[in-house]
């Protein structure tokens, strides 16, 4: 199951709780294939002897802010960040391993190697470079209406188009059209303002509920 917006929001909170403000001692790039427009040397130089100051999310991307650059993480179909304490073994499919001065580690685990990691100078420039639309949980109704109202495209593919709105994949697009009672192949220009607003509100409600339930489930004891 590909991580969509609710999963990446959970990753953001997880990394915030475990991996910020710790000096980075070492960066081990185990699989260079995951790097996107970034060399191993650039990533090592950008992270070593620094610390992650904040974790931010836009759509399906997680951004870890350092002093100036950002490390952008996309998780493909199987990626996830995993925090390791000194006695923990690295996950089987670790592609990147960040070691902190206190001997804790942050692993980027990605079985199918479809995720990507890059350094970026700033979040807004990276979002523009990747042609990402507004975040699906942050977009206002007015923005949504302006982006979607002129479209002739089918509803489900339009919701999944990252250049229009960022964060929705197959799972949540299916749920949105189901909750609104619309056929996935309905074209957006067939919807009046009321119907389009129903789509927008369903998107907001479903994503917020998914985030809340995933957080609640993560808080349960093993």
Q: How far apart are CA 134 and CA 147, in angstroms?
A: 10
Segment 100-118 shows an average pLDDT of: 97
**What are the distances in angstroms from CA 14 to CA 78, 160, 210?**
17, 25, 16
Strand partners, 116: 74
Strand partners, 64: 55, 71
CA dihedral of residues 12, 17, 22, 25 (deg, nearest 10) = -60
Q: What is the pLDDT of residue 215?
A: 65
Reduce the DSSP state of residue 166 to 3 states and report it: strand
> How large a percentage of the chain has pLDDT more than 70?
96
Q: How far apart are CA 211 and CA 202, in angstroms?
A: 14
Q: What is the pLDDT of residue 67?
A: 77
Q: How confident is the model at residue 2 (pLDDT cuts 50, 70, 90)?
A: confident
Q: What is the pLDDT of residue 21?
A: 97
Q: What is the pLDDT of residue 220?
A: 42
Residue 153 pLDDT > 80: yes
Q: Compute the chain's Rg from CA coordinates.
A: 19
**Average model confidence (pLDDT) for the chain?**
94
* Cβ 159 vs Cβ 134: under 8 Å: no
What are the tens digits of pLDDT across the range 44-101? 999 999 999 999 999 999 999 997 789 999 999 999 999 999 999 999 999 999 999 9
Nearest to 67 by CA among 36, 24, 16: 24
Segment 157-169 shows an average pLDDT of: 97
Q: What is the pLDDT of residue 218?
A: 58
Residue 122 pLDDT > 70: yes
* Residue 55 φ/ψ, nearest 5 degrees: -120, 125
Task: List strands edge to edge, sheet with 24-29.
Answer: 24-29, 94-100, 105-110, 79-84
Residue 178 pLDDT > 80: yes
**What are the distances in angstroms from CA 11 to CA 32, 55, 56?**
22, 9, 10
Q: What is the pLDDT of residue 19?
A: 98
What are the tens digits of pLDDT across the range 12-53? 999 999 999 999 999 999 999 999 999 999 999 999 999 999
Residue 216 pLDDT > 60: no
Q: What is the pLDDT of residue 92?
A: 96
Reduce the DSSP state of residue 118 to 3 states and report it: strand
């Amino acid at each position: 199951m590909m991580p969509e917006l609710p999963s990446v929001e959970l990753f953001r909170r997880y990394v915030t709780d475990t991996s910020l403000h710790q000096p980075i001692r070492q960066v081990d790039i185990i699989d260079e294939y995951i790097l996107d427009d970034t060399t191993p040397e650039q990533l090592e130089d950008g992270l070593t002897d620094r610390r992650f100051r904040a974790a931010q999310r836009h759509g399906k991307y997680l951004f870890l802010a350092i002093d100036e650059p950002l490390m952008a993480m996309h998780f493909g179909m199987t990626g996830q960040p995993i925090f390791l304490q000194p006695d923990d073994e690295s996950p089987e499919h670790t592609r990147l391993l960040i070691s902190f001065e206190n001997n804790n580690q942050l692993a980027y685990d990605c079985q199918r190697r479809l995720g990507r990691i890059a350094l970026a100078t700033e979040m807004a420039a990276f979002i523009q470079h990747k042609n990402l639309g507004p975040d699906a949980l942050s977009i206002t109704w007015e923005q949504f209406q302006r982006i979607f109202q002129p479209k002739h495209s089918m509803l489900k593919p339009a919701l999944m188009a990252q250049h229009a709105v960022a964060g929705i994949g197959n799972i949540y697009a299916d749920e949105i059209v189901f909750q609104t009672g619309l056929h996935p192949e309905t074209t957006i220009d067939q919807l009046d303002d009321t119907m389009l607003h129903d789509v927008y509100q369903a998107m907001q409600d479903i994503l917020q509920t998914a985030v809340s339930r995933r957080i609640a489930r993560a808080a349960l004891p093993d």
